């Protein structure tokens, strides 16, 4: 079929404009120059779309693989809530020993987090994740085969070190490879995988609860080793952090990684210039030659504000009682009136499902609504739910109505936590620190998180005996209310900003509550510096 002659600029059957003077064309005839430009534009747009799609998939894959270590932490939190029931029966340990067994992992993990910051600066973010998996595997196998409480504690020690490494490095790595527009949602992946791990732990408890006591808890713990096996495969997929590569003066390698994780060549060069500047390569006199630890101990005003914000939000995440709610959810529901072990463990699955599902809300909203709004919604909702748990247990007796209310408010608490304070806390900590101190400052944040988690987990049962379960949740509610004030006063909005722009926000001498006009000035400053280096 030929092209129809058309003198009005309409299109022929091919869909290509024929123009006012076009006649019938032979198949080997050349299109006018304007048509060639149109075809080139279509091809260029298609290539850009394909690159954007490929880049998005690659970055998501990197974030998923980098988050696998967090499954280990989540699984341990979830599985220990049920496994301790059978460990106590099998090894004849006391309630105090149960508290130590549950809480010691968080305390020990602080050493992993402290060492992880320096380790990741030396061997890189990627290989620090691999080291975390190896150490956790050894701990998991030791716990599985433990013939006594002492050997079980040795396994917990090793597992805690591995988790400490993994928890602090995953959000840093993801923040450093992610494009600005998607950094918030991608940096929530570690928290998603913690929630997935918790849910898997609850399911494992329920699935193996029917086995004899001396076998059930060992199988529950053994299953937790499996996720770390996938880390070996991940090492062949994920690249090293471009910001770490720049710190090692491996600029060409950093450019290649940025080209894989950004869909625009101009943006690649802009990001590289910003990173070089932040690392002190483009402007080496910016930093004095002094140890990072001294800079953290005696921080300048901007870094001090960053540390207060980062460490403060990490502490509030834990002292508001989320790990106590998750670790001891069977005890909470037992206080409401549930006595059967299988039913207790079955109902905790609902808590795990809620925690996992609502993290998806954070993924969708964090780069649209922003960090601060999610944190405020989260802390307000948690305050209400924690108070309601205390009121339910204090004002009513036991029964089906009290059980229903307890499950509702416990699920409500973990839902609000997953929407904001859970994932956003790690996003903020991975974003706000300068490149020079990022790994070790973030490690301090992880240490603060783990210390608070351990203290809460190791004292929860004792505090409940002293002031009742209801009184404990009233205390958690009061702490959560303080978190609302902290977020409102001290946590800035970082949505849509590059890591280097966020650093400039904190350097504002008038404080961290930066106006929109000031943010525009910051963007212009970064652009000017980028232009001057090109």
Question: pLDDT tens per residue, the chain (534 residues)?
Answer: 444 444 444 444 444 444 444 444 444 444 445 456 666 667 767 777 777 788 888 888 888 888 888 888 788 877 887 888 888 888 888 878 888 888 788 778 878 877 887 888 889 888 888 888 888 888 888 998 988 999 999 998 998 888 888 877 888 888 888 887 777 788 878 878 888 888 888 888 888 888 888 888 899 888 887 777 777 777 778 899 888 898 888 888 988 988 888 877 787 888 888 788 767 643 444 444 556 777 778 888 888 888 999 999 999 998 988 877 776 777 777 777 776 666 666 777 777 788 778 888 888 888 888 889 999 999 999 999 999 988 988 888 777 788 888 888 988 998 999 898 988 888 888 888 887 788 788 888 888 887 888 788 778 888 888 998 889 999 999 999 999 999 999 888 888 787 777 878 887 643 444 444 344 444 444 455 445 444
The token duo for 150 is 């002492």
> In the prediction, which pLDDT does 4 show?
43
Residue partners of 277: CB distance under 8 A and separation at least 6: 283, 286, 500, 529, 530, 533
d(CA 120, CA 276): 19
Longest dimension (CA), the chain: 95
> In the prediction, which pLDDT does 481 show?
95
Q: Where are the domains of the chain?
A: 52-238, 299-508
CATH number of the 52-238 domain: 1.20.1250.20
d(CA 247, CA 208): 48
d(CA 381, CA 362): 14
> In the prediction, which pLDDT does 181 show?
73
> In the prediction, which pLDDT does 27 show?
45
d(CA 238, CA 63): 9
Long-range residue pairs from 403-410, CB within 8 A, at least 24 positions apart, any chain: 403/333, 403/336, 403/337, 403/338, 405/336, 406/332, 406/333, 406/335, 406/336, 407/333, 407/336, 407/347, 407/350, 407/351, 409/385, 410/325, 410/329, 410/332, 410/333, 410/351, 410/385
d(CA 221, CA 151): 14
Is 299-508 in the same CATH topology as 52-238? yes
d(CA 232, CA 434): 30
Query: What is the domain class of 299-508 according to CATH?
Result: mainly alpha
């Amino acid at each position: 079929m030929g092209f129809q002659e058309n003198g009005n600029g309409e299109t022929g059957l091919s869909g290509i404009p024929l123009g006012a003077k076009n006649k019938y064309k032979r198949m080997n005839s050349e299109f006018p120059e304007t048509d060639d430009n149109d075809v080139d534009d279509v091809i260029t747009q298609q290539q850009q779309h394909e690159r954007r799609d490929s880049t998005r998939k690659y970055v998501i894959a990197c974030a998923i693989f980098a988050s696998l270590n967090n499954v280990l932490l989540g699984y341990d939190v979830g599985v220990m809530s049920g496994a301790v029931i059978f460990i106590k029966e099998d090894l004849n340990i006391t309630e105090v020993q149960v508290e130590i067994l549950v809480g010691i992992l968080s305390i020990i993990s602080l050493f992993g987090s402290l060492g992880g910051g320096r380790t990741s600066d030396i061997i890189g973010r990627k290989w620090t994740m691999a080291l975390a998996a190896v150490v956790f595997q050894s701990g998991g196998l030791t716990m599985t085969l433990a013939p006594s409480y002492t050997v079980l504690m040795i396994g917990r020690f090793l597992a805690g070190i591995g988790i400490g490494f993994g928890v602090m490095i995953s959000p840093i790595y993801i923040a450093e490879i992610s494009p600005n527009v998607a950094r918030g949602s991608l940096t929530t992946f570690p928290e998603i995988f913690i929630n997935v791990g918790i849910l898997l732990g609850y399911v494992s408890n329920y699935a193996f609860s029917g086995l004899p006591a001396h076998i059930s808890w060992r199988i529950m713990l053994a299953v937790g080793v499996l996720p770390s096996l996938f880390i070996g495969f991940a090492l062949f997929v994920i690249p090293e952090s471009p910001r770490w590569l720049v710190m090692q003066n491996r600029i060409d390698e950093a450019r290649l990684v940025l080209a894989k994780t950004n869909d625009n060549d101009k943006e690649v060069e802009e990001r590289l210039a910003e990173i070089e500047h932040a690392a002190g390569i483009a402007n080496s006199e910016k930093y004095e030659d002094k140890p990072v630890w001294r800079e953290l101990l005696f921080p300048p005003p901007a870094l001090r504000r960053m540390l207060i914000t980062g460490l403060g939000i990490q502490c509030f995440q834990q002292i508001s009682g989320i790990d106590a709610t998750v670790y001891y959810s069977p005890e909470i529901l037992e206080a409401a009136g549930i006595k059967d072990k299988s039913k207790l463990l079955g109902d905790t699955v609902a808590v795990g499902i809620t925690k996992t599902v609502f993290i998806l809300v954070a993924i969708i909203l964090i780069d649209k609504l922003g960090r601060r709004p999610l944190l405020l919604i989260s802390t307000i909702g948690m305050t209400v739910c924690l108070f309601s748990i205390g009121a339910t247990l204090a004002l009513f007796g036991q029964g089906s109505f009290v059980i229903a209310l307890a499950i509702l408010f416990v699920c409500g608490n973990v839902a609000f936590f997953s929407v904001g304070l859970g994932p956003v806390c790690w996003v903020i900590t991975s974003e706000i620190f300068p490149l020079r101190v990022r790994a070790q400052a973030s490690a301090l944040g992880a240490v603060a998180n783990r210390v608070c988690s351990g203290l809460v987990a190791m004292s929860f049962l004792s505090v409940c005996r002293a002031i009742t379960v209801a009184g404990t949740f009233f205390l958690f509610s009061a702490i959560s209310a303080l978190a609302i004030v902290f977020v409102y006063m001290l946590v800035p909005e970082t949505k849509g900003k590059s890591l280097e722009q966020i650093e400039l926000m904190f350097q504002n001498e008038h404080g961290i509550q930066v106006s929109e006009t000031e943010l525009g000035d910051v963007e212009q400053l970064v652009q000017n510096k980028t232009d001057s280096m090109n």
